[in-house]
Amino acid sequence: MTNKRISEQHHATFDSIRQLDEEGNEYWNARQLAVFLEYSQYRHFLPVLERAKEACRNSGQKVSDHIEDVLTMVEIGSGAKREVPDVRLSRYACYLVVQNGDPAKPVIANGQTYFAMQTRRQELADNENFARLSEDDKRLAIRNELATHNKHLAAAAKDAGVETSLDYAIFQDHGYKGLYGGLGAKDIHAKKGLKKSQKILDHMGSTELAANLFRATQTEEKLKRDQVRGKKQANQTHLEVGRKVRQTIDDLGGTMPEALPTPDISIKQIETAKKKLEKNNK
What sign does the dihedral 46-39-72-16 (CA atoms) show?
A: positive
Tens-place pLDDT, residues 46-59: 999 999 999 888 87
One domain for residues 92 and 141:
no
pLDDT in the model for residue 107: 78
With respect to residue 124, please indicate whether it lies within any of the assigned structural domains. no
Q: What is the DSSP string of 107-172?
A: HHHHHHHHHHHHHHHHHHHHTHHHHTS-HHHHHHHHHHHHHHHHHHHHHHHHHHT--SHHHHHHHH
With respect to residue 176, please indicate whether it lies within any of the assigned structural domains. yes
One domain for residues 169 and 49:
no
With respect to residue 153, please indicate whether it lies within any of the assigned structural domains. yes
One domain for residues 149 and 251:
yes
pLDDT in the model for residue 4: 44
With respect to residue 104, please indicate whether it lies within any of the assigned structural domains. no
pLDDT in the model for residue 102: 79
**What is the number of domains present in the chain?**
2
* Residue 45, domain extent: 3-98
Q: Residue 146's closest CA among 222, 202, 228?
A: 202
pLDDT in the model for residue 13: 65
pLDDT in the model for residue 5: 44
Q: Is the pLDDT of residue 101 over 70?
A: yes
One domain for residues 143 and 241:
yes
One domain for residues 88 and 149:
no
Q: Residue 135's closest CA among 260, 228, 234, 26?
A: 260
| 15 or 179, greater pLDDT | 179
Query: Any idea what the Cα angle at residue 118 is, between residues 153 and 16, rounded to 5°?
Result: 130
With respect to residue 118, please indicate whether it lies within any of the assigned structural domains. no
pLDDT in the model for residue 6: 37
Lowest mean pLDDT among 54-58, 100-104, 204-208: 100-104
Amino acid at 247: Q
Region of 44 please: left (phi>0), alpha (psi -120 to 50) or beta: alpha
Domain boundary among 50, 77, 98: 98
Mean pLDDT of 233-249: 94
Per-residue confidence band for 252, with pLDDT thresholds at 50, 70 and 90 = confident
Query: Any idea what the Cα angle at residue 215 is, between residues 227 and 270, rounded to 5°?
Result: 135
One domain for residues 55 and 141:
no
With respect to residue 69, please indicate whether it lies within any of the assigned structural domains. yes
One domain for residues 150 and 250:
yes
pLDDT in the model for residue 10: 47
pLDDT in the model for residue 282: 65
With respect to residue 103, please indicate whether it lies within any of the assigned structural domains. no
With respect to residue 120, please indicate whether it lies within any of the assigned structural domains. no
Q: Is the pLDDT of residue 278 over 90?
A: no
One domain for residues 93 and 153:
no
- Write phi, then psi, for 192 (nearest 5 degrees): -80, -10
Per-residue confidence band for 61, with pLDDT thresholds at 50, 70 and 90 = confident
Taking residue 246's Cβ as centre, other Cβ atoms within 10 Å add up to 21
One domain for residues 94 and 213:
no
Taking residue 121's Cβ as centre, other Cβ atoms within 10 Å add up to 11
One domain for residues 158 and 52:
no
